[in-house]
Structure 1
Amino acid sequence: MSQSSTSTIPDLNELLDLLAELETLEAVYTENPIVFFRPLKHGDQDPFFRSSLATVRLVLGSNRSGKTESGAAEAVAHALGFRPWLDEDDPDRIVRLPSGDPIPVPNIGRVVAQNFQTSVKQTIWPKLQKFLPRDMIAKVHKDQRGIPVQIDITNGSVIYLMSYDQDPMVFEGPNGHWFWCDEPPPYKIYIGLKRGLVDFGGHCWITCTPLTQPWMNDIIVERANVLDSGVRLFKFSIWDNCVENGGYLTREAIEEFLADQREDELEARLHGKFLHLAGVVYGTWQPEPPYWIDPFDIPKTWPRVCVIDPHPRKPIAVLWAAVNPDEQWFAYDVLWDRKLKTIAQVSERIKYMERLREDRDLIAHRIIDSSAKVPERTYGSNILVRFAEEGIRCALANKQNTQAGYDAIHEALRMRNEWSEPRLMVFNHCAPIKQNFMNFCYDEWQTDKQRDLKGDKQDYRKTNDDFIDCIRYIFQGGLTYQMLKGMARRQSEEEYFDDCGMPLDVGKWHTGYDRRRYGRRS
């Protein structure tokens, strides 16, 4: 036998050493399995664990995406005071409260699931058992059915296991440092749990497939990932758990599961969209880059527009946007204040907000919904004139072919390839724009039978659309960088305004209509 062939065979001592190492690892895994937990590399799992300074973390995920596994690991880490799977020098190894202070040990936490018999007994408790170090479990309290309701940790921490089946009043009194809800909680239970965090400045996380509790979209999702908000949103996909991405599910198993889902449920189960919003119009828009971006100083050379959408009962919506030489639009500020009741108050706030910026916004063009031209019985004039009297002179929006405006927004959000950027981006402090994009939906028939007979409705639900309208007025007006630069140059010239001091119709101006009066075509 050659020397090269014999050198590849380990001797007995090497084999014994290897066996001893394996036995040690097996013992550690048996006694302290959380040390071996690894977040999935593909997707939002690792960022979820590294965002504990948030007051609320919401994980919207499909089935088998690892959301419950992650929630359980984070619960055990909170009870211990640290994340054992991270290196000792990792800044996120120590669990911290939103204040940045390390979570005190011992601490009190609550884990809440849909029901005791199925959710707690068959899902939550086995997950917690999987991660809790064996020598850290002091006592497990069970109810008369043998279901765990309280876990005492040897360091003094306590984990209470609760259910949405319980009376909401049960959640009102007790305080604690943290809670975890697995699947969407009823609103009253969520509020009761949140009140319990106030004493210690605690935080919470919710892991769910958004099939129920639409209040969460209005109360939590709309605040998520907004600048200076304490709410963070994460999306876990079943594809993150695919073998190809480091998970344990085969591609064939995932495709078989998804094949059985209805289209509306697929949006919820796969993409984390609330079921009542499965028909959202701008599904590609997400409150994250490249659509939802950090603010930056807009160059003074970029022309800006101000768009106003008045309403008799709702707040007046005001949008500010700038366009760069590449025809990319940036929505950089909004006004949506229920306390402003009159045109004079809104005008004063508009002027204040434009003066507030260091470079003093130089607005090249203002647009207002054409309904502003309708005479008002009370004032004897109209909203267009009343804004002009306050020094806010606007051109009427081009509202012909509404569908073309909606389509233009779709086109502005489309990215040609993975390296490109959309032509419409929103600064992440403009929460009302985010609310519109995530809630503007197609209309629906009142019954499933009508839908089956007539197909999907082609109309839009005329709610949550104020800032969508402001954006489409920009695109329907055909505004471009060069055109707005020309408007900015002409602002001080008389030919830009009519005899009443009102801006001339921009559509006529930029198409060359009556050039003698309206000026040269840009």
Structure 2
Amino acid sequence: MIIADEIRWNRKQLQGLKLLSDPKKKFIKFYGGSRSGKTFEIIRAIRIRALKYPGSKHLVARFSFANAKKTIWLQTMLPEFRKDEKLGLCKIIKDVAQVHYKNGSIVILGGLEPSSIDSVLAAEYGTIFITEANENRYEIIENLFSRLNDTSKDLEGNPIKLKFIIDLNPTVETSWTNVLFIKGLDPISKTPKANFEEYASLWFSPYDNEENLAKGYITTLENLSTAKRRRFLEGKYSSYEGLVFPVDEDVHIVDDFEIPANWKRIRAIDFGYTHPFVCLWLAYDKANDRAFAYREWIQTRWTVRAHAEKIKQLSILDLPEDLRNSKEAWRLAEKLYSATVCDHDAEDRATLEENGIGPVKPANKEVLAGIDNVIDLMDFENGKKPQVYIFRSLAGTRESLDSYRWRDTTMSNRGRAKDREVLKEDDDPADTLRYGLCEIFPIVAPISLNGLSLNLGSSWR
């Protein structure tokens, strides 16, 4: 077997190599900070396994196939597999994001969103690697366990050791990645995992890999906000303690679906330049009195005019497919929205309207009342159904909600922070979600009618 390069492994990566080669460990989690060397090590291991076991098949996947191509395919897979392509050992097929080896082995990039998952589940693999695994529901991961079935052998007749590998920057302690790999419990039944001896985890830190990082990168991580520093530098799981919005991955996060044509839609916008500009699309299901955040646009250092053009492009996607290419597409799309609510900057709102977005109106920016409103809408205790759901593909919004915290995490008996002050860090998508939800479910002081408390709600709901 030819390996086209030599790698200077750091101490933690050497531990990772030992773990990846352990025949007793079938399910392996690499987790920790950003750029700590974990993903590169896994991709290189897959490359070696493809060379060693002729005819073997290997899957690298992320929830979104588009995000997988922009990240792990471009940044890690292409540079690594090109080493073998230069030696004539394989051919990279960029259109479908696959690597075909002359010995019959194949490495496939896949997506796990509903539109892609069937093609992924149609094959069986010797290695399955899920990057950013926390983006996915455990049910999807469990389905993939059944696809780990490859009978390839090396030239000496030794069968391939099946490996299911995940990596991630940790989020909250309740994540299935923590419950399964650290606590040893089935994430659904919460009972002990019978084959837990086959599971292993290894924590990585950017400090382990500092010699391979750009000068100043560690300093950048050290100066992140508290929540992001904990995730991307320290690489540690966080508790729900102190979170403003109690988002439950199993309840409030749902797989993307096509929004029914009869549901009313709104857009919520938070202006920003150095801080992110955020636009969220929300839909209201009147029959069940619930709202879904289903699309996001988050970008820094663009002009409002440039954002307006992007918002038009994304809004056109709400039209039937046969109308999206018409000359009047964006005008037709604008009619779909019952409201576009924005931050209060009058000049920026005027710029949006001048460029075809709107009409727009100022959002309700009552912070504490708005937060309480959203917390109540998310409540699902005592058999209550929540009224807020977020599409799984809204990675930026979900990350913001994991970072949006009270300054003082001491909580009252009612589950509200005692000092009622929010940390102004990484809060832009969370604020935008609040704007949108307070438009759909307005903050209205209850009125009393013959002793019965009533809330009149939105005029368009």
Q: What's the TM-score, normalizing by structure 2? A: 0.47
Q: What's the TM-score, normalizing by structure 1? A: 0.42
Higher relative contact order (CA 8 A, sep 6+): 2
